[in-house]
Structure 1
């Protein structure tokens, strides 16, 4: 009899906090997030300090995003062909190596736009090519009915880290340009140690399965997605959120940096955003259980569009912080409902590929946000640029409202019955 390894190591009824394998997985992601959050906040400011140009900073961020897009499909294919714990280890080791190179470049005084862009591209490339395996493991670690809660916990963890990463990143940046990448390096090494403590093997395929060709694997995933219009509808909304929300945040950050606002004060805005995401993560499991998933996937996008329209009118940093809080409050509900549902209906053996194809499109669109923000500020100023991104979010809201399949998604307790009735999944 063929056997699949890497199934949930605890009984389906055990709560998440008693699932030791999940806790080890979560610790690795937490340590990585701490370092990555500090590094992600500080890197655009490091680039701006080195180059002195908002346009160049946006261009470097665009190149960084392209690295993520290039690595997405290879990462999805790897996650569905190679033992996933091994890939997560390799992701941490290569991440530490790239951050060490950045530290050396900054200490040596060799940093410039081209070299920073190359390192940023490589870091995001290896992150998506190797790091995709981590989320692909989740369905093998926790029972299906706990996926919404697990996704919400991830959102809360990321938000809690984000609350501190802005101020800490700003403070470290005020001491030395090399301290944020050093923190990022240590986060990668912490993830490696936590992953080494995991006991399971996370094979993406049933033992004894016949070997397949890469092109056939990719074709299978594309065919799976094309048979489900609801995935394309959700993808359209996700693209609008990724481009619009990140564009708003990047525009505000660059505009404040150009006005001479200290990095520590800019970091406090990230804290406001993260605090609202943390609150949203606390509420998300309850919302997913009581509010139809279709509503949770669409309504917060409309709120984000309204915030984008009002941000140019914000008279002070306090009001900008309020806008940030409103931007973040609905994100966990969107992710817990949408990501939880699509993780549920995607077979274990296709988690990497399907996720990679979906993320490649949405992240590909998101890579335009920094460049559009930088160029918009240079050419038109803050208000027109913010209104542009608000318009993108408004368009995403309209698309969601017009998408019948997405609107009809029920509460999480009815996901399985709905997916089977609509032909969106089959029992595994």
Structure 2
């Protein structure tokens, strides 16, 4: 191999470094446990009640903190040692899951405890996901951001969507408490890995009390003025609303319509991971080939198709394929928009602007989960998927118009800040 060829390979596959490897392993290990909880929590709720609204409430409890604590999380991430914060949050989540495990074993782990634990786990997720995305640009080279984000998403999706749900469903069949105990152990491992990261974003001086509100609003003001990212945040909200409505009632659909047991439900979740891992590997190349505008249009089409298939075809095989398509779309979307945020937002505002973006985009998660449970209770799960397909079809048309106008390219050329 010639020197020029070696240089080209190095340019195509940037070295991400040991600190990134530790962050990646942290994401992979904790996502494995999260996948077990993602499968076990709705199964536990369905054992405690048959009301779709109460089952969907577990998802609402987990995602509500994305609205409540999005902006405060961004302010905190910009002001503290990210590494130390992530370690403390992981340790707290490990203790929380240990409590839930003991509650289930002791017979006092009912719906109130499940909802409380899911709410606090969601709160930790808000802080740690925001922190991790802010940390990536400090531990990975700029030309490797797309690769770094894609690898972390692949690790997260493989854990939460493939290995974790299968393990969680199997363990839940053996004993309801075991999946939550496994998740507690993975958070302990994650805390150790994060503690060994050497480089981190330096904390900024804390503002005085009078300036805290203005500091919190600075990220919101910047995002509001940035037409491109503001628009992407709103579109992300609609995607999350349709997607989480689907996922919130999937356990009901798999049992009542597809006639699957707990392990079959785990397999359905695993189908998502197959699509997600595939997308995370090829999303950078697909984005380069189609352009970022074209890649976003393609993601909306994939998600629309997946929702339509779930609504129209009552088959477990079709549902598995649809969930794989859904994950392909969401991961590709995230790879594109995360890199845009990391490159367009000023470094000193990255945590706050990132959290405001999440506040808007993840605001669709609890709304979608609640709406999905209500619609499923009234007219069935297939109606939830049909409404989601209609919403995503409108999104796809809007993105096609934006692609025709080259909105991403024009925003970068004009340095719209």
* TM-score, structure 2 as length reference: 0.90
Say which of 74, 87, 90 aligns to 2:88: 90
**CA distance 1:14–1:307, change in 2 (3 Å):** closer
Once residues 124 and 291 of structure 1 are traced to their aligned partners in structure 2, the CA distance between those partners, rounded to angstroms, is: 35
Q: CA deviation at 1:195?
A: 1.2
Q: Deviation digits for residues 300-348 of structure 1, max 9, x if unmatched?
A: 1122113322323324211111111222223332111111112111122
1:356 Cα deviation (Å)? 0.8
Q: 5+ residue gaps in structure 1? A: 1-11, 411-417
In the alignment, which of 134, 139, 142 is matched to residue 140 of structure 2? 142
1:96–1:188 Cα contact (<8 Å) kept: yes
Aligned length: 404
Q: Deviations over 1:190-217 (max 9, x none)?
A: 1111012112243143xxx684532121
Residues 406, 79 of structure 1: alpha-carbon distance in 2 compared, 3 angstrom cutoff: farther
C-alpha distance in 2 between matches for 1:330 and 1:222: 27
Shift of 1:13: 7.2
* Aligned-partner SS, 1:203: coil
Say whether residues 1:371 and 2:370 are aligned partners. Answer: yes
Whether contact under 8 Å (1:236, 1:399) holds in the other structure is no
Q: Which residue of 1 aligns with 2:24?
A: 26
From the superposition, tell whether residues 310 and 189 of structure 1 become closer, same or farther in structure 2 (CA, over 3 Å).
same
TM-aligned CA distance change 1:126 to 1:337, over 3 Å: closer
Q: CA deviation at 1:404?
A: 6.5
Q: Which residue of 2 aligns with 1:388?
A: 387
Instruction: Sort the Cα spacing of 1:327 and 1:127 in 2 relative to 1 into closer, same or farther, 3 A.
Output: closer
Superposed displacement of residue 174, structure 1: 0.3
Match of 1:172 in 2: 171
Correspondent of 1:235 among 233, 236, 239 = 233
Task: State the match for 2:284 in structure 1.
Answer: 285
Name the stretch that deviates more: 65-74 or 318-327: 65-74
SS at match of 1:292: helix
Map of 2:197 onto structure 1: 198
Tell me, yes or no, if the aligned pair for 2:228 and 2:411 is still in contact at 8 Å.
no
- Counterpart for residue 53 of structure 1: 51
Q: Offset at 1:420?
A: 5.5
Distance 1:405 1:217 in 2: 37
Please tell me the root mean square deviation across aligned C-alpha atoms, in Å. 2.2
Question: Counterparts of 1:246 and 1:223 in 2: how far apart (Å)?
Answer: 28
1:257 aligns with 2:249: no
Task: State how far apart, in whole Å, the 2-side matches of 1:384 and 1:332 are.
Answer: 25
Summarize the Cα distance change of 1:77–1:252 in structure 2 as closer, same or farther, 3 Å threshold.
same
Counterpart contact for 1:90–1:130, Cα < 8 Å: no
1:348 match: 347
User: Offset of 1:46 from its aligned partner?
Assistant: 0.9
Q: How does 1:97-246 map to 2 (within 5 A)?
A: 97-161=95-159, 162-205=161-204, 211=207, 213-246=211-244
Residues 154-176 of structure 1 deviation map (CA, whole Å, 9 limit, x = unaligned) = 22212322221221111011011
Distance 1:18 1:131, change over 3 A: closer
In the TM superposition, residue 98 of structure 1 has moved relative to its aligned partner by: 1.0
Of 298-307 and 92-101, more deviation after overlay is shown by: 298-307
CA distance in 2, matches of 1:265, 1:404: 39
In structure 2, stretches of 5+ residues that fail to align are 1-9
Quote the residue 2:37 is aligned against. Answer: 39
SS in 2 for 1:202: coil
Range 166-175 or range 117-126, more displaced: 117-126
Residue of structure 2 equivalent to 1:423: 415
Q: Is the 8 A contact 2:372 2:384 kept in 1?
A: yes
> C-alpha displacement at 1:220, in angstroms?
1.7
* TM-score, normalised by the number of residues in structure 1: 0.88
Q: Is the 8 Å Cα contact of residues 16 and 140 (structure 2) preserved in structure 1? A: no
- Name the CA distance, whole Å, in 2 between partners of 1:356 and 1:223: 12
Structure 1 or 2: larger helix share? 2
* Alpha-carbon distance, 1:153 to partner: 1.0
